[in-house]
Amino acid sequence: MSELTKGERTKQKLVAATGSLLRRQGFHATGLSDIVAESGAPRGSLYFYFPGGKDELATAALEAAGAEWRTRIEAVVAAASSLDGAIAGIVELLADDLEASKFQHGCPVAAVALESTSEPVRKAIVAHYAAWEVTIVEHLGKYGIAAAPAKQLAVVALSMIEGALILARVQRSKAPLVTVGKALRAIVATMSSPTKRRDE
């Protein structure tokens, strides 16, 4: 691992602060001053590293959030011995994370997706969901689910989880996530017969 330069650390701090603020309060409520204050970075560095301002920072923060969650979710999937276990693990991870934030941290992407933002930010969100769809289809394929039904299931799974995160956040309860997790496992059980991955 190479050490980060001071500039890279500052950029990271700014992106992390933006991501945290987007999750808690969305795009419009997050001002550049909030980002500077939350990051502890000097104001000048924001304009230096992100000349595109809030749009550029938000796009970077959504990408970083996607990458972070990809790593966390891939770890859960890799540790699971079945598709059912993988889904249960993902839902538990999301529910625990939401609870740990005292139900303040929802999905950063969803919060921004429901606001009117610029076209670059909207495109970053579309790309984010498309990447998740591809990942889900790939994983379902390993469990013997064909591409066409897997694609439908990916949209259903993303919708269920994004919707349950809204309900869970506002109700301050893990229950909606637990409920959709069970429903998702029931749907998948009707679609996949193998209990082991094909690549095992």
Minimum distance of a copy of itself from residue 139's CB (angstroms):
18
Contact flag: residue 159 with a copy of itself (CB under 8 A): yes
Distance CA 136, CA 51 (A): 35
Distance CA 150, CA 146 (A): 6
Judged by CB, which is closer to a copy of itself: 81, or 152? 152
Segment contacting a copy of itself (CB under 8 A): 10-18, 71-79, 88-96, 152-160?
A: 152-160
Contact flag: residue 145 with a copy of itself (CB under 8 A): no
- Asked whether the CA dihedral 21, 173, 175, 86 is positive or negative, the reply is positive
Contact in structure between 36 and 57 (CB atoms under 8 Å)? no
Joined together, the tokens standing for residue 39 give 């990051």
Joined together, the tokens standing for residue 1 give 């691992």
Write each residue from 94 to 133 as x if it is in contact with a copy of itself (CB under 8 A), else as -, in one continuous string: ----------x-xx--xx-xxxx-----x--xx--x----
Segment contacting a copy of itself (CB under 8 A): 6-14, 37-45, 64-72, 148-156?
A: 148-156
Distance CA 34, CA 41 (A): 11
Nearest to 104 by CA among 12, 29, 187, 11: 29
Contact flag: residue 138 with a copy of itself (CB under 8 A): no
Distance CA 96, CA 102 (A): 10
DSSP state of 55: H
Segment contacting a copy of itself (CB under 8 A): 22-30, 58-66, 75-83, 94-102?
A: 22-30
Write each residue from 175 to 194 as x if it is in contact with a copy of itself (CB under 8 A), else as -, in one continuous string: xx--xx-xx---x-------
Residues that bind a copy of itself (CB under 8 A): 24-29, 104, 106-107, 110-111, 113-116, 122, 125-126, 129, 152-153, 155-156, 158-164, 166-167, 169-171, 175-176, 179-180, 182-183, 187
